[in-house]
Amino acid sequence: MRLSPRTLIGLAVIVTLAVSLLSILAALSTPRMGVTIGLDDKQRMMVTAVDEGSPNHSRIQPGDIIVSFGTTHGDLPARADLLTEEPDTLPGFADYNAFMQDQGLLASQLATGSLTATLTDGRHVVLDTRPARLGDLPLLFWFQLFVGVSGVLTGALVWALSPQVSAATRLYLLTGIGYLIFAPAAGIYSTRELALPATDFRLLSIANHFGALFFTASLTSLLWVYPRRLGGMWAPLACYTAALAVWLLDASQAGGDPALFHFGVLIVFALSFVFAGMQWWQTRQHPADRAALRWFLLSIYVATGLFAGTIIIPSALNLPLPAPQGVMFGAFLIMYWGLALGVVRYRLFQLEAWWYAVWAWFLGGIAVVLVDVLLLSFLSVPEGMALSLSVAIVGWLYFPLRQKLWEWLGGRRQRTLQQWLPDVLPLLIQTNAGEATESRLRERWPDILQVVYQPLQIVPADSYRHDHDMTKVAENGLALIVPDLREPGRALCLRHAGNGARLFTHQDLDTLESVRNLFALSLDMFRARDTGAQIERERIARDIHDDLGAKLLTILHKSPADHQPLVREAIRDTRDLLHTLNFRDTVLGEAATRWRNEIQERTQAQGVGLVWDNQMETELGNMLSSRQHANLTRVLREAVSNALRHSGASELRITLSGTSNQLLLTVQDNGSAGNPENWQDSGRGLAIMRARLAELSGEARWITENGCLVEIRLPYGMDAGSIA
């Protein structure tokens, strides 16, 4: 049974603390002279600093040149190689073994307090020692311990927090273990004051080589299994076998040259380029894996390239190191922290938002402890005040800086409510009242999703139709499945969030819930508004019907016969107005029948023949909104009035035609009306016709050859809200 993440992280911290404590104790096991020795420009040993608390403060001064050291085996020349930071950079094992022997002689003399330094002025100075203290350990030791601890804890966090244990997370943890072995070991001997016991030095060097080879084999193997497994585990096994063989040859000195270790590291690491190329090919059809691989390779090769270029390659070629090895160990933090950034940006190893919380919890505690130790050890702050000051400093400095760091690491994360709400609100509230307001709002659902998530693509998710769970992150974060609010039972698939810059996360599901709540609130608001408007329209319609309608009927019965057509036209206009107020859709076929009856009545009264040519069949079932019906009726009525008034025609032809998305009405007479612009009092009527059609996104044009032809075009598929 797998342990909980908190337990696993706790175990990792305990092991890390144990290794750190052992490293510190090992570094403190050698007594200290309180003297810093370096090399002058002639590669001679020179005293560069003497601590104020050193037992040798009055015996030796900065600038003194050391010629030799007196030991029980005679004088030992003060050669520059005695200060070599890394013994595996020596030309051969003979030099390596001689170096270890000389280190043992110096360390034994220091342990007894009888080491004598001969200076260029002929003086013989006995270098006394005292027990080492924490303050004696140089910054470079702490730095190498820090990078080792950081590496293994990063690996442990990835391993513990992954939703499922995989070969990739195990190998990533193993790279951290290798880091924890080689960095602190090197930190002990590379920051020695002068010498270490030969046995200790050699064991630390062998441990350093083991950790470095183990790290390299683990890192190369990781590229075999992540982001996609390239095959069986024979390749990682081969990497570890090769690394072990090199280490055994190096530890037993059977390779003939310390450079064998560096060449072994380079050979195993060279395999990573082969694996990286194979991964690049394997991920060509998988954009999420390719995005993760890009960042993965960038993090790995920037870090390892820096270290290989400054340490491994020069050592293998017996060239001077351009930078201290201890400093360059920090290059590997680029890899670990780069991969941490990859977790944030590309969801490496399937980690999610709690990555922030775990690091915040861990680093917050570490920061308090480190500041507390700093105050106690180096600034001599009383113990009672140290904890309070450390908490205050961390609170004032660390936490604000950490928050800024998280914001920077997050980069282009999902847009916040404050960012997308100003763009979404117009889509939710800018619409017109009417029976089709709700449908218009629902049609805007994809536009709202586009604003919030900025996906590269929104397509129907037919495979999720009628699925009980139509809200989910799919395809490892490449897609987000959401209900299609335009049609119940259907779903939409959003792909590549943030214009392709990020993956969808579970936080996007929380955002979707907020967007849906806003959408529902907007629907309720418009329904309430439409209900109120409909109630008011019905009241007005009742008043018109009961008052004006009744009066018009009375006038009709009492009017002379020659005035009755005008009264009937007023009654018809009133009936059209009431129909508009009811805001009900009209079937095109019914509207066409009413138009024909009205026009036929008018032409008969004028003695003009009518030809009604209906070329539409299936389209007659299309719906006209109340506004479309009202405006078309008035435009058609004005066109017929103009033909009867100005043309002197004997025949009028009305043609009804069009397609599934466009209606075409033509009114043609056989008269001689001429150019409509020249008709007396025609300007206002034509302008009104154009204005009514413009409301419907339609148009009209007049052709005056062989009579006068009026073409009226109107697009379908537009509701009342969109044309009001």
The label of the residue with tokens 């990792």 reads: 12
The label of the residue with tokens 């004696």 reads: 136
Q: Which residue has the higher pLDDT, 153 or 1?
A: 153
So what's the pLDDT on residue 669? 84
So what's the pLDDT on residue 318? 63
Average pLDDT over residues 269-290: 83
Q: Residues of 652-668 as b/e, b for ≥16 C-beta within 10 angstroms? A: bbbbbebeeeebbbbbb
Last residue of a domain, one of 525, 555, 575: 525
| Angle at 23 (CA atoms; ends 22, 24), nearest 5 degrees | 90
Instruction: Categorize the per-residue pLDDT at 639 as very low, low, confident or very high, splitting at 50, 70 and 90.
Output: confident
Residues 150 and 283 in one domain: yes
674 beta partners: none
Cα-to-chain-centroid distance, residue 69: 61
- List Cα–Cα distances, 532 to 474, 525, 536, in angstroms: 43, 11, 6
Q: Is residue 170 part of a domain?
A: yes
Computed on alpha carbons and rounded to an integer, the radius of gyration of the chain in Å comes to 44
For the ranges 104-118, 281-295, 453-467, the maximum mean pLDDT occurs at 104-118
Q: Is the pLDDT of residue 507 over 70?
A: yes
Q: Which residue has the higher pLDDT, 683 or 519?
A: 519
Give the global pTM.
0.54
Q: CA–CA separation, 684 vs 640, rounded Å? A: 16
Which DSSP state fits 444? T
What's at 31, amino acid-wise?
P
Q: Which residue has the higher pLDDT, 420 or 84?
A: 84
Q: Is residue 502 part of a domain?
A: yes
Residues 362 and 494 in one domain: no
Q: Is the pLDDT of residue 667 over 90?
A: no
Q: What angle in degrees, to the nearest 10, is found between the helix axes of 259-282 and 287-307?
A: 160
Q: Is the pLDDT of residue 303 over 80?
A: no
So what's the pLDDT on residue 409? 46
Average pLDDT over residues 536-541: 66
Identify each DSSP E strand in 315-385 by its residue range.
Answer: none
| Three-class SS state of 184 | helix
Least trusted range by pLDDT, from 279-283, 376-380, 666-670: 376-380
So what's the pLDDT on residue 101? 92
Residues 197 and 336 in one domain: yes
Paired tokens of 193 = 């004051």
Q: Is the pLDDT of residue 84 over 70?
A: yes
Q: Is the pLDDT of residue 556 over 70?
A: no
Cβ 693 vs Cβ 597: under 8 Å: no
Residues 233 and 249 in one domain: yes
How does pLDDT run across 349-382, given as a tens digit for each residue?
444 444 455 545 555 555 555 555 555 455 555 5
Instruction: Categorize the per-residue pLDDT at 589 as very low, low, confident or very high, splitting at 50, 70 and 90.
Output: confident
Q: Which residue has the higher pLDDT, 172 or 316?
A: 172
Q: Kindly report each contact of residues 384-391 with a partner whose C-beta sits within 8 Å and lies 24 or more positions away, as own/partner.
A: none
The total number of structural domains in the chain stands at 5
Q: CA–CA separation, 491 vs 460, rounded Å? A: 6
Last residue of a domain, one of 525, 547, 567: 525
Cβ 578 vs Cβ 544: under 8 Å: yes
Of 220, 236, 346, 340, nearest to 283 by C-alpha is 346
Q: Which residue has the higher pLDDT, 596 or 328?
A: 596
So what's the pLDDT on residue 22? 94
- List Cα–Cα distances, 42 to 36, 39, 46, 60, in angstroms: 17, 7, 10, 20
Q: CA–CA separation, 485 vs 519, rounded Å? A: 9
| Angle at 60 (CA atoms; ends 55, 63), nearest 5 degrees | 135
Q: Which residue has the higher pLDDT, 301 or 699?
A: 699
Q: Residues of 501-512 as b/e, b for ≥16 C-beta within 10 angstroms? A: ebbbbeebeebb
Q: Is the pLDDT of residue 72 over 60?
A: yes
Instruction: Express as a percent the part of the chain with pLDDT over 90.
Output: 12
DSSP 58-71: TT--TTPEEEEEEE
Q: CA–CA separation, 301 vs 306, rounded Å? A: 8
| Three-class SS state of 24 | helix
Q: Dihedral angle at the C-alpha atoms of 368, 372, 373, 376, nearest 10 degrees? A: 180
Q: Is residue 556 part of a domain?
A: no
Q: Dihedral angle at the C-alpha atoms of 308, 312, 313, 317, nearest 10 degrees? A: 170
Q: Which residues contact 189 (CB under 8 A, 6 or more apart)?
A: 87, 196, 201, 204, 205, 208
Average pLDDT over residues 391-409: 57
Q: Is residue 547 part of a domain?
A: no
Residues 185 and 257 in one domain: yes
Identify each DSSP E strand in 261-419 by its residue range.
Answer: none
**CATH number of the domain that 193 lies in?**
1.20.1070
Which DSSP state fits 715? E
If residue 714 lies in a helix (H) or strand (E), which one and from where to where?
A: strand 708-715
Residues 79 and 21 in one domain: no
Residues 359 and 314 in one domain: no
Q: CA–CA separation, 717 vs 84, rounded Å? A: 84
Q: CA–CA separation, 97 vs 198, rounded Å? A: 9
Q: Is the pLDDT of residue 592 over 60?
A: yes
Residues 324 and 424 in one domain: no
Q: CA–CA separation, 202 vs 221, rounded Å? A: 28
Cα-to-chain-centroid distance, residue 420: 16
Q: Is residue 358 part of a domain?
A: yes
Q: CA–CA separation, 280 vs 292, rounded Å? A: 11
So what's the pLDDT on residue 388? 56
Strands 623-624 and 586-587, bridge-based pairing: antiparallel
Q: Which residue has the higher pLDDT, 579 or 102?
A: 102
Residues 185 and 315 in one domain: yes
Residues 294 and 343 in one domain: yes
Q: Is the pLDDT of residue 59 over 70?
A: yes
Show the 3-state SS of 659-717.
CCCEEEEEEEECCCCCCHHHCCCCHHHHHHHHHHHHHCCCEEEEECCCCEEEEEEEECC
Identify each DSSP E strand in 466-554 by its residue range.
Answer: 472-474, 479-483, 491-495
Which DSSP state fits 130? B
Q: CA–CA separation, 293 vs 225, rounded Å? A: 11
Of 410, 513, 423, 501, nearest to 455 by C-alpha is 501
Q: CA–CA separation, 664 vs 709, rounded Å? A: 13
Least trusted range by pLDDT, from 112-126, 433-447, 548-562: 548-562
How does pLDDT run across 446-467, given as a tens digit for each residue?
888 888 888 888 888 877 665 5
Average pLDDT over residues 392-406: 59
Average pLDDT over residues 2-13: 76
So what's the pLDDT on residue 421? 75
Least trusted range by pLDDT, from 204-208, 218-222, 305-309, 582-586: 582-586
Cβ 478 vs Cβ 485: under 8 Å: no
Q: Is residue 538 part of a domain?
A: no
Average pLDDT over residues 212-230: 89
Last residue of a domain, one of 525, 546, 564: 525
Paired tokens of 208 = 């350093």
Paired tokens of 178 = 């290798």
Strands 609-614 and 651-658, bridge-based pairing: parallel
Residues 227 and 103 in one domain: no
Q: CA–CA separation, 650 vs 164, rounded Å? A: 88
Q: Kindly report each contact of residues 436-439 with a partner whose C-beta sits within 8 Å and lies 24 or more positions away, as own/partner.
A: 436/625, 436/719, 436/720, 436/721, 436/722, 437/526, 437/529, 437/530, 437/721, 438/523, 438/526, 438/527, 438/530, 439/719
Q: Is residue 548 part of a domain?
A: no
Q: How many CB atoms lie within 10 A of CB 75?
A: 12
Q: What angle in degrees, to the nearest 10, is found between the helix axes of 198-225 and 259-282?
A: 10
So what's the pLDDT on residue 548? 61
Averaged pLDDT score across all residues of the chain: 77
Average pLDDT over residues 680-699: 76
> Which structural domain range is residue 371 located in?
354-410
Q: What angle in degrees, to the nearest 10, is found between the helix axes of 399-410 and 354-377?
A: 150
Paired tokens of 539 = 């009241």
Residues 158 and 283 in one domain: yes
- List Cα–Cα distances, 689 to 612, 678, 698, 699, in angstroms: 21, 16, 10, 9
Q: Is residue 685 part of a domain?
A: yes
